[in-house]
Amino acid sequence: MYELTPSDANLLPEFLQRERKDFSLELRRVLNRLRLVPIAGREVIVAVEPNKTYRLVRMGTHRGEPVSYIDDRLFTDHKRAEYEILKLRWRRLTGLPLAGD
């Protein structure tokens, strides 16, 4: 499994700047690692109003447990919500904040 390094943080702003089809191989590698967190306690996006507003939630530790809201923010841009999830997972896996976090 790919091991994240502090320098990988420099790749994450590319997520907001490019379309998925144009992501660099390096960014794809980092994203794949950030998506491989355990399901228990995983940070995910929930649509409050489909295709309009989104919130960040944390899954329960056992099947059937309710999700819990991470904070009070509402997102109207799904990609921005995804980026916030990536930042949370980055901190979870590396213990380091991203710049501007």
* pTM flag (> 0.75): yes
The domain spans of the chain are 6-94
Model confidence pLDDT, tens digit, residues 9-60 = 999 999 999 998 999 999 999 999 999 999 999 999 999 999 999 999 999 9
Q: CA-to-CA distance for 100 and 22, rounded, in angstroms?
A: 24
In order of 12, 23, 34, 67, 72, the CA distances from 28 in angstroms are: 10, 6, 10, 28, 29
Q: Find out whether 71 and 53 touch, Cβ atoms under 8 Å.
A: no
At 66 the three-state DSSP class reads coil
